[in-house]
Amino acid sequence: MASTIVRIGVALLVAVALVGGGASVAAQSDGQSADQPAWADDLFDDMEGMQSQYNNFIGEAEMSTAERQVFNRIKGNTINVYIVETDVVFSFRMASDGTITELEQSRNDDADLKMLMTRETAESLATSENPVPGFVQSVRNGERTNGTVEGIVITGEDGKVVKQVTWGVINAVKGFF
């Protein structure tokens, strides 16, 4: 019981730190394709191709109970994908069935969630024949390290305090499962 209380306390402290502006991400552009480097166009083309692969396999995804609960928190949201250490931003909506829709090569001002990943992670997922297991693993193992990220880190988009707190707690406790 005491360890559960400690875990919840740590999770809440992490959430408060994130809401208070803990780690920052490099400033992002307005998300227009013209402002992004040429490699971003190639990556977006690969992501468009990956979208159908992802959508085809998401119904067959094997996830633990904890992974499924995290995944269910992503569904139904519009998400901005920030490629860390660059000005590249994409956006998409994850439908209630888990499929990716409305993939755009720009930032969506109405997004609820922020997904952070490196260019290498994005390229690996975008060129995978079945990107679902890689996505699940990257979210499960995602963490901030030395000013960048490993895997995929999800948080609430700026100004979305409830989402920031929720994802602060999820990110703090997901390592315990």
In the chain the domains, ranked by start, together with CATH numbers, are 29-159 (3.30.1050)
> Could you report the per-residue pLDDT of 159-171, keeping only the tens digit for each?
999 999 999 999 8
What whole-number distance in Å separates Cα of residue 24 and Cα of residue 89? 15
Residue with tokens 């956006």: 91
Give me the phi and psi of 16, to 5 degrees please.
-65, -40
Residue with tokens 């090569």: 105
Q: In this model, does residue 56 exceed pLDDT 90?
A: no
Which tokens go with 24?
Answer: 């920052």
Look at the chain and count its residues.
Answer: 177
Q: How many CB atoms lie within 10 A of CB 75?
A: 14
Mean pLDDT, residues 15-19: 36
CA triplet 74, 170, 174: central angle to 5 degrees?
A: 110
CA end-to-end span of the chain, whole Å? 16
> Could you report the per-residue pLDDT of 3-13, keeping only the tens digit for each?
433 343 333 33
Q: Are 125 and 50 in contact (CB under 8 A)?
A: yes
